[in-house]
Amino acid sequence: MFMNNMWFKKLFRRKAPDENTSLMDTGISVNTNVASGSVSNLYNDATRGAFNVFDVQQQHDPEKTRLVFVNDEMANVKYGFCDNSIKTTKYTFYNFLFKNLYQQFHRFANCYFLFMALLQTIPGLSPTGQFTAFIPLCFVLICTMCKDAYEDIKRRVSDKVTNNKLTRVFRDGQFVEVFWKDVKTGDILQVYNKEPFPCDIVLLSSSEHQGICYVETSSLDGETNLKIKRCKHETTYLSAPEALKTVKAILECEKPNNRLYKFEGTLVLSTGKKLAVDPEQICLRGSSLRNTDFVIGVAVFTGHDTKLMMNTKETPHKTSKIERMTNQLVFIMLAIEILLVIICDIGLIIWTARNKSAWYLFAGVVIDADYLAWSGFKGFFTILVLLSNLIPISLYVSIEAAKLVQGIMISKDLAMYHEDTDTPAMVRSSALNEDLGAIQYIFSDKTGTLTQNKMDFLKCSIAGEVYGSGITEIAKAAAKREGKILEDTRPLSAKNNPNFQFYDERLMDGAWKDSPQKNEILDFLILLAVCHTVIPERSGANGEIVYQASSPDEAALVKAAKYLGVEFIARSPNDVTFSILGEEKQYQILDIIEFSSDRKRQSVIVRNTEGQLLILTKGADSVIYPLLAPNQEYMDVTLKHLDQFGDEGLRTLCCAKAYLDEEEYAQWHRDYEEAKTSLEDRTRKVEEVAARIEKNLLLVGSTGIEDKLQEGVGDTIYELRKAGINIWVLTGDKLETAINIGFACDLLNSSMTLLVVEGHTNEAIKDFIEKSINTANMNNISHDALGLVVDGERLIHILEDPALKNLFLLLSIKCKSVICCRVSPKQKSDVVLLIKQNVSGNTLAIGDGANDVAMIQSAHVGIGISGVEGLQAVNASDYAIGQFRFLKRLLLVHGRWSYRRVSKLVLYCFYKNTVFFLTQLWFIFFNGFSGTTLHDKWTIALYNLVFSGIPIITLAVIDRDVPAPAAEKFPELYFQGQKNRFFNPRVFIYWVINSIFQSVVCFFVPYFALVGTSFLDGQEIDTQTIGIAVYSCVLVVITVKLSIETSSWTWVTVLMYAGTLALWPAFIFIYGSIYYIYPHPVPVVKEFYEIMQRFRLFFAPQFWFVLLAVTFICCIRDIFWKLWLRAQSRKLYYDIQKHHKKKSREDIMEFFPFEEGLPVKLKKKKKFNPIELQEIKKIFTSIAKVDYRGFAFSQTDNQQDLIKQYYSGDNATNNGQQKTTTTTLTSDEQKKDTNM
């Protein structure tokens, strides 16, 4: 047999050709008639010019289809196909300056300050100099520009990594390596095993016989089960360079579009023969070749024309919620400013009219209506410039600077560093830091994000006995939350076996053959070894059998049977071969009744070695149990075991069998064949006929498979839900897979009623949703008692109908968990937008594959998981992390800190500017509304940039109200961001009122205390000196206020706060000293001299008395208010601040039993007893399927036909045992492959 296998290998397996390989050296020389005949036709047709290009072009409609000339670069040039490079950057080198400034001036505040700076340049109009406003404005613009450039450079580097990957392209008669970006439409490519496809290609040939190859599409649709693709028979032998050099063909196909699962095209050969091209022949960018030495294909869509990129939106410009609110506040402050300017301008006109007799002011001027109008017009702009800084010019640059440093700190956090993949957290858009602290909806991909997609056979139930001692991750997490520790009792050999995690000494090493239930166990293992569509292959020199499965579940079950003594060896179209403890057996395969989403089961009809007819069936317990013969011994106990498995997060299925009567089967078989060939309503007829034979089954057993979660997923989801975050799962997987993972990661549980949206028309879906909503409302059913599942087919109807969309939205809000399955990338994006546009609260989308890019870009915040499925998701994301579990720290710690810090920063910026520039307003009432400034122009210019700007950035970067461990330990604190407790209109009004009060104190106390007084040498304290006193009072008051708002003190905090205060008198001294440095002809020397004279103020005792009095009056209320809150408040927030250093959570909860201030849904929730749960399920029974535990078949609809073709042909008799290829991919192997 082994020799036959080697012959089979030589016959059908071909090595990857190189430029020196002839057609006869490619491994097909054994079958020369077929090979040389097919290829020679292509050669001859090409050379004799039978290819009529003109006719094809004449028939081509460029509006509907595109023409691709195979291996003819010159012919494709005129069509202007895009290149194969991808770009996720926002800027280019030549447009950066203009585009960035254009985007910055979309901010109203920047336009406002530009206008003020221009006003300031008009002679005689500005009281604060002509060009001082340009300095802070340019500083703000340059800082923001540097930050944007830094982040865009990071995106450019990621794009470069992708674009500079290597692939092999056929040029000049040989395959040469080129960068991905250099691939052109029409190029012939060669892709090797484990390599990703650089573009969308139409298959021409494969190293596998019958032109079959295996493709992994996890980056596209989230499924890691391998898909079978097949070349057209007429192009199968186009693999040798000699054949490829002369091939001439035109591919006419659909225009670029985002439909991942559809493709229509025609390949016109040189003979004029037309070959229909469909999805079976196309391999998309984002997918990878697996278990196939190589394939050769022609590039049909490249770069941004690929289906993957067509599902990707242009990198959007996102703004945070606080920034949007800040923009609104800027308009409000502008309206207030204009109102104040109008009031002052009216005051100017009235004062001028009343004092027109003052000859020393209006000498030689006639005060008439025209003069008053001109005075009012000029005065309006003068006062507007004077009060312009009520809107803080440093606001946005302070925000940008703080966020940039926050982003660096996130990137450097070792607690979010994934050591296995050497992946730190990455901040790609720090503009959204604070939104991380106010997330209310998380939309998560499944494969690679929540799960490893590694299936482990962990437990089974046979004849009323449970076998298997493994512990699932979800069981461990549940026990941990209850304060328990579950010990894994398996021996080390079982724990460390990467291929088989199951252990039970009663079944291992053939021990079951001595069991009293050995017949039942053998029936169970035979069913696992026979009832499937797995392909066995031999790998390596020792010919070890490995399994090529279209579903990781199928592989796990067949592998379990193998390790327990019943090894599946080979299959042909008509039989399967397996061994029982080394003894070979062969069953004849008579019929396969395939799985479908409606049937939720799979059956195989076989004839065993004794000649008996058997039907072997496996599927979801909800569909198998109604098919069982009544009154069987182990039905009830097995059902309990299924519930037990489900509670542990295992994916379950039932196994059953039945003996068939020959005559009954013969009649059924004829009906079944007739149904399969029916041209009308084929699916329904096949299912009806199948149901006739799947009856009176005997229960064989049940299985529990663990879909391995990513590390820490269960705990992360649990903590995030405690934080009040709603979690949705959006996946391309099938319904059963999605539901199973929902149970596995505790999104769904046995206490919930599961609503699965049904109906194939708008009316049917609407009826289902309305009934569900009405039932929930009428019975006052809790949010925690309902889960919702909807698939892509129903979502098409829902998202296209506004009425249905609103109903779906209402129903989803009533459910604790929502799972959307079989959804395309665009549907993922649409679902995110549905919530984003209709529900208050921030949304977050997280995924790791190219199919997640659209939703990542649609959400308020997009998170990419790096390292497994490429860089597409990372490149499109705002933040990137190595594992889903790091999301907890990113949100609960960094997100919450950033939200609080940025909130304080924005409020403080408005506060400090209001305090300072209102002193200018009060002074206007003492100078005849003339617009004379109280402060020096350079001190005004430096107020925002230096004296008040540096301390607040310090707080916005390093201040922590609670330490990281406390923020993670108490997810309830997160609600402060969700409820906007730190930043809302009420809080803003409080800060503004406080700033108005403090500005009054800071102006009037120094003014009335110092006016008319003198220094010790008798020189009178003039108005400008009072201005310095007022300036000093303002700086001290706002710094003390900032100190009150500071929660954590470090040496950096002390240095920045104290340093800026000390910098103020130092600046006055240095500024005034210029008088003594420069000679007297300097034009501004008088100003320097005056400043130096006023420096004496800091040595005047009355100044210090005033300073202390002002500080006490302004800040004493805030100090006592903070102290009272911390002493008397019953809120958990303050209690944690007081006790986190010396008390655990349990101690705190005992000390503080009332969680006042928390949202209602975070308080103690209603617990349903089992009777209530059953009643809820009964309520929904009429409209919903409430019990879902099912085996997640992942086989595509035509998979069985392709498998049959795989074994058909001249060598069908050699069957699968003689084929040699690489191994089937487990999840671990997939990860290793991806990382290689």
State pLDDT tens for residues 921-932: 899 888 888 878
The string of DSSP letters for 58-102 reads HH--TTTEEEEETT-HHHHHTTT---S-----S--TTTHHHHHHH
pLDDT at 144 over 90: no
State pLDDT tens for residues 41-95: 433 343 334 455 556 665 667 778 888 888 888 888 888 889 998 887 888 888 8
| Interatomic CA distance for residues 195 and 292, integer angstroms | 10
| Interatomic CA distance for residues 274 and 267, integer angstroms | 6
State pLDDT tens for residues 856-878: 989 999 999 875 555 677 878 89
CB-CB neighbours of 597 under 10 Å: 14
Contact 432, 861 (CB under 8 A): yes
State the pLDDT at residue 233.
Answer: 83
Q: Active-site residue among 159, 445, 523, 936?
A: 445
* Pairwise pLDDT comparison (1160 vs 1088), residue with the higher score: 1088
Q: How far is CA 412 from CA 144, 408, 712, 880, in A?
A: 22, 6, 21, 13
Q: 141-145, 723-727, 888-892: lowest mean pLDDT where? A: 141-145
Contact 747, 817 (CB under 8 A): yes
Confidence grade of residue 440 (pLDDT, cut at 50, 70, 90): very high
Average pLDDT over every residue of 730-755: 79
The pair of three-digit structure tokens given for residue 1030, joined into one six-digit string: 């007022």
| Whether 148 is catalytic | no
Binding site residue list for ATP:
445-447, 554, 595, 618, 651, 731-733, 822, 828, 851-852
1059 — phi, psi (to 5°)?
-65, -40
Contact 710, 884 (CB under 8 A): yes
pLDDT at 172 over 70: yes
State the pLDDT at residue 1178.
Answer: 55
For the domain spanning 2-80+185-301, the CATH number is 2.70.150.10
In sequence order, which residues have a C-beta less than 8 Å from that of residue 399 and are 6 or more positions away?
A: 323, 326, 902, 905, 906, 956
Q: What whole-number percentage of the chain has pLDDT above 90?
A: 28
* Pairwise pLDDT comparison (1127 vs 1181), residue with the higher score: 1127
Domain residue extents for the chain: 2-80+185-301, 454-707+1197-1235
State the pLDDT at residue 605.
Answer: 93
CB-CB neighbours of 514 under 10 Å: 8
State pLDDT tens for residues 336-361: 989 999 998 898 888 888 877 766 66
Domain spanning 454-707+1197-1235: CATH superfamily: Calcium-transporting ATPase, cytoplasmic domain N (3.40.1110.10)
Binding site residue list:
445-447, 554, 595, 618, 651, 731-733, 822, 828, 848, 851-852
248 — phi, psi (to 5°)?
-130, 125
Average pLDDT over every residue of 577-599: 86
In sequence order, which residues have a C-beta less than 8 Å from that of residue 149 and are 6 or more positions away?
A: 91, 96, 100
Q: How far is CA 218 from CA 62, 163, 709, 744, in A?
A: 33, 20, 16, 20
Handedness of CA 819, 825, 830, 833 (dihedral sign): positive
The residues that bridge with 536 in the sheet, in sequence order, are 547
pLDDT at 174 over 90: no
Confidence grade of residue 1104 (pLDDT, cut at 50, 70, 90): very high
State the pLDDT at residue 1173.
Answer: 54
State the pLDDT at residue 201.
Answer: 93
Element (H, E) at 954: helix 949-958
